[in-house]
Amino acid sequence: MKIKFQLPDPRKKIQSYRRFIQWGFLLLTLWIGFRFLLFVHQAGGSGAVTVTRPPGVEAFLPISALISLKYWALTGIFNTIHPASLVLLLIILAIGLFLKKGFCSWICPIGLFSEYLAKIHVWIFERPRNLPRFIDYPLRSLKYLLLGFFAYAIFFEMDTASLAAFINTPYNRVADVKMLLFFSHASALTLKVLAALVLLSVLVRFFWCRYLCPYGALLGILSWLSPLKIHRNEKSCIDCNKCNKVCPANIKVATSKTVWSDECHACLQCVDACPVKDTLHLSVTTRKGRMPRWMYAAAIVLLFLLGTTLARALGVWHNSISTQEYRHHIQNINDPVYNHFRGQQPPNTQNN
């Protein structure tokens, strides 16, 4: 029997491609994590270090990135301690502004994990169950409160001197190593919190993304400001409600002329589900500037690739901390000087 293999047409359905891209970024993240683990292991020993540190690991340092952003804005200096964290933050902000909250549903591994947990939710409850609005709305504000807390502490409380002091602290210089140790040597409390978040995400779909993720809050604001929106042609809509049923963010697409929600993460499942051609579409205005689904997928990947390639070309991708210095930090990582922001220099070492 001849097996016919056919890829889905990206002009009609984009979900398989979205999944492919999500898995691609997940595998990239795992590869980066594995390489960094090897690097830390080798640098912490006394033998040769044969693995180079992957700069992409700085994607997990959002606070350091926000501090670097303000420092860059005030001084014009792109700090060299964790430059990739700032590059990645700028790429994510650009995605938010131009391509809505697509980072969450196309790139973020936690977004992918949450989607699988949401499938378990539907399997258990047989259909999506959403929290009542009087609980949902206050909970949604939590992520904005968290974002507000960080934004206030950094943008209102820290002057140039304290920003520079933080950037050069031993704590910040090894923030990547400490983040790795936080997960690879997770305490019982950390494991309990992670397990609780997984459980909550099964009970309530996208619990972390919808209620707690400060990155999601930041992207929600930018996405709301983004000129790109999902529009519905009221004339051709047949009120089948298929768009409502597939929307993971519980947005009432079928009764919206334009989707303005900060919760829309541009997964395009509603556009894929709509049975009437050109009734739901991504565009800048209701009529003009329509963006095909395949173009959106290509744009999100290209923006990421172009941003990181440009950063390499400009020399702001790799950090300035030598392997020697990393070795010193890792071998002394239990020294209290690395515990939190104290504005101190590492023991027996000079800033490189």
Kindly state whether residue 264 participates in binding ligand SF4, applying the rule CB under 6 A.
yes
Q: What whole-number distance in Å separates Cα of residue 166 and Cα of residue 159?
A: 11
Kindly state whether residue 18 participates in binding ligand SF4, applying the rule CB under 6 A.
no
Whether 13 contacts 272, CB under 8 Å: yes
Select the span of 202-210, 262-270, 323-331, 342-350 touching ligand SF4 (CB under 6 A). 262-270
- Non-local CB neighbours of 55 within 8 Å, separated by 6+ positions: 83, 84, 317, 318, 319
Kindly state whether residue 108 participates in binding ligand SF4, applying the rule CB under 6 A.
no
Cβ of residue 134: shortest distance to ligand SF4, in angstroms?
22
Kindly state whether residue 266 participates in binding ligand SF4, applying the rule CB under 6 A.
yes
Continuous segment of H or E residues that includes residue 290? strand 290-291
CB nearer to ligand SF4: give 220 or 248: 248
Select the span of 42-50, 116-124, 201-209, 268-276 touching ligand SF4 (CB under 6 A). 268-276
Burial class of 44 by CB neighbour count within 10 A (0 to 12, 13 to 18, 19+) = middle
Q: How many alpha carbons lie under 13 Å from residue 9 in its C-beta half-sphere?
A: 3
CB nearer to ligand SF4: give 64 or 105: 105
Select the span of 42-50, 126-134, 250-258, 330-338 touching ligand SF4 (CB under 6 A). 250-258
CB nearer to ligand SF4: give 206 or 317: 206
Sites for ligand SF4 among residues 204-243 (CB under 6 A): 230, 232, 237-243
Kindly state whether residue 253 participates in binding ligand SF4, applying the rule CB under 6 A.
yes
Cβ of residue 142: shortest distance to ligand SF4, in angstroms?
19
Kindly state whether residue 122 participates in binding ligand SF4, applying the rule CB under 6 A.
no
Binding ligand SF4 (rule: CB under 6 A), the pick from 57, 92, 219, 249 is 249
Three-state SS sequence of 79-123: CCCCHHHHHHHHHHHHHHHHHCCHHHHHHCHHHHHHHHHHHHHHH
Binding ligand SF4 (rule: CB under 6 A), the pick from 270, 297, 311, 337 is 270
Cβ of residue 256: shortest distance to ligand SF4, in angstroms?
8
CB nearer to ligand SF4: give 255 or 324: 255
Three-state SS sequence of 19-88: HHHHHHHHHHHHHHHHHHHHHHHHHHCCCCCCCCCCHHHHHHCHHHHHHHHHHHHHHCCCCCCCHHHHHH
Query: What string of DSSP letters covers 143-190?
Result: HHHHHHHHHIIIIIT--HHHHHHHHTSHHHHTHHHHHHHHHHT--HHH
| Structure token digits, residue 315 | 């020399």
Kindly state whether residue 107 participates in binding ligand SF4, applying the rule CB under 6 A.
no
Interacting residue ranges for ligand SF4, rule: CB under 6 A:
230, 232, 237-243, 246-249, 251, 253-254, 259, 264-270, 273-274, 276, 279-280
